[in-house]
Structure 1
């Protein structure tokens, strides 16, 4: 099995390499920077320089590939460009008779457009993929545990022993490890019965803020309290990474949650049904925190 992975330099897709290698797959990892070559090669992939906005390059690198694991690049200056990026990959896959595409949507898809470019473009990609004639599986994860490693959260844990996140304490979330999401992607590639399927996936525990902090505390063996971060504070920290417009959009979303009487679902209570089709050994929040303790507390 030859698998082409997009986005493997980032935390959301990197673990696909290891999960695919467990099944003796040959992994090719597309990256837009040669600086990533060493990291990808050490993980067991063959790195290749390619940008999803180059349709000709997509045709070139998808030749002889059995399956593609892709996601829309994060933090595009114009999120709507994501549709053309996806079209280039899907069109090339179809032209070269790739067997299957598995798309990590980096969040649950909305039921309809909501005026957020990042979310709305995903619905356009979904329609294009669905109508492409390709076999596909869509993996929709909730919020990644790895988000806690971000600069809006990790320094608070390390310096103040506070788990900072801009969601209200009362809002439950089924946090999921990126390694588990990657395992779902690989299982979806290998399950030949799945041809036009979509799965909303989450962790197995639906944790409110204080529950999250308690689980994290158990893992790192430190007393950590939940800190419902102000959306503006979160946005200011995010600004250097995603730009002012992107940070403002994200901050506005979290501001709406602060005032909500009903929270959007971030947990799939039927994960047992998903696991029947995609058998993955799930990671608990406490287990993840224990494995990553040194990231937050040196020594």
Structure 2
């Protein structure tokens, strides 16, 4: 028996592997590289594109942690279908799916995966963050903080967000693997939500200087991140931020929060900056 973690060498999966290993859980790290070595885990090469490989990885698992990679929406939908098919066949004891901030109420791959898990007959929970603090480590953001005391981001100055970190997701995943009674959606993020100027203030306090929030457009963000994540994914992300700009906020609700359901309070921005040793 083991806990199977997708993307085990990536930004989202690696903290889950580390948290489970630190808790003494047996971990199987899924990667695309058959030669990868993951500390504290047994490594298995298995990609989202092979249902058979996923079935083999999931069979007899105590738990599976899954999230969809940042690729084309067409590929994400295909991966979602493969994951659901493998879960139905392999019947792991519990599945924890992180939406990575993608909405599950307006269609798309994340919605398809959440719906498929709900209809699979397998115990599961859906971790629903809003925006990741790690987004603020993109070069166009952190370099601006360091070089010109500005924090640029494609949200309005008055737009509150329940930010969460990958470390918070790992904490919640560990708890959910031990709490099969907590099912359905679990929202993860700071509450009350914080604004862009609040973020800038936390960065300023951490670095010991005044940092000003600088709202930018989704198009400016797209041009900045395309060299890092690719043109297609950058355009998709920019589209999400354009849609987000019409909303009043991206705040979680207390009723289904990790705070209420699991007693886990996500890190403040300042705590996160200290924890990652920035």
Query: Hey, what does 1:4 align to over in structure 2?
Result: 4
Query: Hey, what does 1:132 align to over in structure 2?
Result: 120
Contiguous gaps of at least 5 residues in structure 1:
114-119, 295-299
Distance of aligned partners of 1:33 and 1:203 in 2 relative to their CA distance in 1, 3 Å threshold: same
Query: Hey, what does 1:116 align to over in structure 2?
Result: none
Query: Hey, what does 1:56 align to over in structure 2?
Result: 52
- Which whole-Å deviations, capped at 9, do the CAs of 1:163-215 have from their partners, x for residues lacking one? 11111111111111210111111111110213x41112211341111111112
Task: Give the TM-score of the pair, scaled to structure 2.
Answer: 0.90
1:107 correspondence with 2:94: no
Stretch of structure 1 that moved more, 268-277 or 24-33: 268-277
Query: Hey, what does 1:223 align to over in structure 2?
Result: 210
Deviation at residue 279 of structure 1 after TM alignment: 2.9
1:147 to 117, 135, 146: 135
Task: Give the TM-score of the pair, scaled to structure 1.
Answer: 0.84
- Which whole-Å deviations, capped at 9, do the CAs of 1:63-116 have from their partners, x for residues lacking one? 331110001112x2x312223323333333332331111100111524223xxx
CA distance in 2, matches of 1:12, 1:150: 15
Deviation at residue 281 of structure 1 after TM alignment: 4.6
Stretch of structure 1 that moved more, 273-282 or 173-182: 273-282
Distance of aligned partners of 1:291 and 1:126 in 2 relative to their CA distance in 1, 3 Å threshold: closer
- Which whole-Å deviations, capped at 9, do the CAs of 1:96-142 have from their partners, x for residues lacking one? 331111100111524223xxxxxx12112222111111111000111
CA distance in 2, matches of 1:143, 1:99: 29
Deviation at residue 257 of structure 1 after TM alignment: 5.0
1:93 to 87, 91, 94: 87
Query: Hey, what does 2:173 align to over in structure 1?
Result: 185
Aligned-residue RMSD, C-alpha: 2.2
Deviation at residue 293 of structure 1 after TM alignment: 5.4
1:284 correspondence with 2:268: yes
- Whether the 8 Å CA contact 1:166–1:229 is kept in 2: the answer is yes
